Chain A
């Protein structure tokens, strides 16, 4: 037996995909992904209409999707993250309905529970065998972890694996196994390696970023959580990476052996693993080549599904064992609600990803962000969009000071005692506005273009349309 079919079109046809059904994609190939566009092009050419695209994330490379929306091929979109180039079109209201944003943990939960059932899942697989065992660890388009694709493969009615590296059966070190796969298609290339992972992650030289990063590391040091068994997550942004490096120095100096680091994994965290700062890395997505190589070579570096990573109400999610997570924000308000979906003008340019999952799970959720970006103050009275509720955020670190959520008085006392510049969030807001001036409120459209659905399935926020700016 052999599941290899001749073309993507043949696989779509065999899958029984019809008008109005839902197709799903994962985003480990990030801005280098060819698969979503290849599949949607065939679906459009086959004359199918009214489909819903459920993707773990959409990037600028997926711009052809906008044409399929205009043409009526696609009438529904669900994602955990939408990059700025596409977000602008959704903010203008290109979709008749509303984009549905879910978190990285909420998305697989909704798929598993049948809230957002998937008819056909397309798995972009850097290596696969003819029976559908597949992984991201090997092949010319190696991307590392396939974490976000596990739920799609497990719960979709039909599963199509698309690969550019067909290996002999049985593939070694598979991530998704053949018992979940219906068809396998070999194509010339599933992605552009340059857009999939970055070669190196550089330490930021931005003095503002470095100052925030050093505060962040000192907050962790003073929090009381930095001891044997410490667990940690951080993003791939400049200041977050720098914070991890400062943290590494502290951990090595104090000989603290942590338990794990989780989430999207960078070379920086791989270095920390090798330096003995952690026993294990739990990897839902690799951000650079060093992480891909480590996942392939080092058994302490383990691939996890998005379910295991972050799904709320599951029998066990990694986020619930996290001590500290470092998060970003485009805006935060004086109640500590965080926006990571839109910019200050309300234009979609991101999404929750694992933001609210990790914030809810971690003992300390720390937001680091500059007081202002391009004159727009980051602290507002009321965020444009609530991505993560303020009750889950413990502390805000900026270059101008640190604000602790009043519900975490103990942390505030500890930071004060450590000599860190702690102030009230309102003071910090006034300090920033003293430098930028107070921005005038901008008007928003009446139409809701996107719904932000919290990790438990509750409606957190509605994102309104933004008129086309000059």
Chain B
């Protein structure tokens, strides 16, 4: 799936995450900021990558500002951002 335009999903509320996605020429870049970076940083990045892979996104810049969201919330926010930014939608 191609990302055609910048899009976002989520909020900056506690226990949520704000996810932004942008088109990128080549490959995936994930920028992560989190209040639980030390404790869950790796798990969050893995969740983001899994959603992108499952949706077939190969080129995108994804910025995640995490406020302590549960794994299911992170995944839902990433999925929503991808759907909003896709080119074939």
Contact = CB atoms under 8 A, between A and B. Distances in A.
Nearest to B14: A374
Contacts of A345: 38-39
Contacts of A437: 40, 43, 71
Interface string A375-404: 110000000000000000000000000000
Interface in A405-425: none
Interface in A244-258: none
Interface string A423-438: 0000000000001110
Contacts of B84: none
A45 interface: no
B64 to A, nearest CB: 13
A437 B38 CA distance: 13
B68 interface: yes
Interface in B35-77: 35-40, 42-43, 67-71
A376 B38 CA distance: 11
A344 interface: yes
Contact of B67 (A344, A374, A439, A440): A374
For the complex, would chain A's binding face be called helix, strand, loop or mixed by DSSP majority?
Answer: loop
A375 B38 contact: no
A373 interface: yes
A442 interface: yes
Nearest to A441: B39
A440 B70 contact: no
A463 to B, nearest CB: 17
B60 to A, nearest CB: 24
Contacts of B68: 373-376
Interface residues of B, number: 15
A373 B39 CA distance: 13
Interface string A344-381: 11000000000000000000000000000111100000
B15 interface: yes
Given A373-B68, A375-B68, A440 B15 contact: no
A439 B40 contact: yes
Nearest to A376: B36
Contacts of A376: 36, 39, 68
Given A374-B15, A375-B15, A436 B70 contact: yes
A442 B15 CA distance: 20
Contacts of A374: 14-15, 35-36, 67-68
A439 B68 CA distance: 12
Contacts of A373: 14-15, 68
A58 B38 CA distance: 28
Contacts of B70: 375, 435-436
Contacts of A442: 38-39
B39 A344 contact: yes
Nearest to B33: A470
Interface in A430-470: 435-437, 439-440, 442, 469
Nearest to A440: B39
Nearest to A442: B38
Contacts of B42: 440
Contacts of A435: 70
Given A375-B69, A437-B40, A440-B38, 9 more contacts: A345-B39, A373-B68, A374-B35, A375-B15, A375-B68, A375-B70, A376-B36, A440-B39, A442-B38
29 contacts: A344-B39, A345-B38, A345-B39, A373-B14, A373-B15, A373-B68, A374-B14, A374-B15, A374-B35, A374-B36, A374-B67, A374-B68, A375-B36, A375-B39, A375-B40, A375-B68, A375-B70, A376-B36, A376-B39, A435-B70, A436-B70, A437-B43, A437-B71, A439-B36, A440-B38, A440-B40, A440-B42, A442-B38, A469-B38
A-B pairs, top 5 by smallest CB distance, nearest first, are A374-B68, A439-B39, A375-B68, A442-B38, A440-B39
